[in-house]
Chain A
Amino acid sequence: MKNIFLKNRYTLLLTVLAVYVLVLVIEGAITGREAKVVKFDNPFFDLNLNNFEEFMDNRD
């Protein structure tokens, strides 16, 4: 197995990327990770880019 992963630079890159993607996908699925997009909270101006349509409606 080790010989396959370390056969050449391409197999090694694919192995590292596969581990990277799997770790992040599994962690994301377990923790239910969501993007924390830019959110401003202050008394004068409220903007949440998760809900941009509502912001545009309120603005109108």
Chain B
Amino acid sequence: MDKFALNQFLTLLKREVLEHRNLFVLAPAFLALLLLFAAFWISKQFPRDQLASGVAYLAMLFDGLSPVDMAPVFMIGAIPFVFLLYTYAFVYLMNSLYQDRRDLSVLFWQSMPVSNLKTVLSKVVTIAAVAPFFYIAVLFGVYLIAMIWLTLLGIQFDIEIVGIGYMFLAAVVSLVFVYLSAIVTALWLFPSVGWLLLFSAFAKRTPFMWAAGVFILVGFLEDFLFGSQYLANWVESRANPNQYVIFSFGDLVDRLFNYDMLFGIFVGAILIAGAVLMRRFTD
């Protein structure tokens, strides 16, 4: 990819972020504020001596432990953010190409020297790598504030707080795992991404109804035409989070390079190719 094409693609990503900053920045920031406020409120409910022994216990628990080994514990803290990310990812994928046609901005973008392929790919990269980055950045802020708060409590109660440092390192490593999990999940769910984009590019109205309705219809059609249920089996066989969540760096290669992952990417590519071709119908 030459420098011009790279800059062009980066501009498309920037456009996505600017147009959807509510989904990518404000939503996780609001959730983070809510959780921090809840944490402070809960801590205020405890007597001072219990709070002091709680901080001392945390510091002692993590003191000297490997941050990489302890990182999965802190992945639990990311669960509300991951749910928010995937809820918004669904809304984003369902509406992105549909909205372009609805507000006629598709005509403007097609008049620019940007291919439909690049436009659609920019949406895929946005949801697979860019949006999770913002969520991870917000989570880093949350962990940083929490660690500063715990450190201040430790100083206030005169407690040995070296373990808090190990805890923070484990939390930071967990963010790397969460980010890698988000990318692997997007690749694992590539057929779903392609399906939503295809119907976002196709539907003249209510793209969700089209996507859900045709999904059910195709399943029945396969049973009727071929007497088999491979579509349903395929969807069901890909529904286990253990297939795409990363708990250690060793998991990464196993998750990325296996038959099911590569076949899923191939099927997703068929659907995304359909979405790219569908972009030519702007009416």
CB-CB under 8 A from A24, the residues of chain B are 222, 230-231, 234, 267
Q: Which residue of A lies closest to B263 (CB)?
A: A27
CB-CB under 8 A from B221, the residues of chain A are 21
B-side binding surface: helix, strand, loop or mixed? helix
| B278: contacting residue among A13, A19, A23, A27, CB under 8 A | A13
Q: Which residue of A lies closest to B201 (CB)?
A: A9
How many pairs of A and B residues are in contact by the CB < 8 Å rule? 70
**A15 to B273 CA separation, bound complex (whole angstroms):** 11
Tell me if A36 and B240 are in contact (CB < 8 A).
yes
Q: Mark B256-283, 1 if CB is under 8 A from A, else 0.
A: 0000000100110011011001101100
Bin the interface of chain B by size: 20 to 34
Tell me if A9 and B202 are in contact (CB < 8 A).
yes
Q: Is A6 an interface residue (CB 8 A)?
A: yes
Q: Which residue of B lies closest to A19 (CB)?
A: B270
Tell me if B274 and A13 are in contact (CB < 8 A).
yes
Q: How many residues of A contact B (CB 8 A)?
A: 22
Q: Is B233 an interface residue (CB 8 A)?
A: yes
CB-CB under 8 A from B237, the residues of chain A are 33-36
**A22 to B211 CA separation, bound complex (whole angstroms):** 19
With A9-B278, A23-B267, A25-B228 as known contacts, state yes or no: A17 contacts B234, CB within 8 Å.
no
Closest 8 CB pairs of A and B: A28-B230, A16-B274, A35-B236, A35-B233, A9-B281, A36-B237, A33-B233, A25-B230
A-B CB contact pairs (8 Å), 20 listed: A6-B277, A8-B281, A9-B202, A9-B281, A12-B274, A12-B277, A12-B278, A16-B273, A20-B270, A21-B218, A21-B222, A23-B267, A24-B267, A25-B226, A25-B228, A25-B231, A33-B230, A33-B237, A34-B233, A35-B232
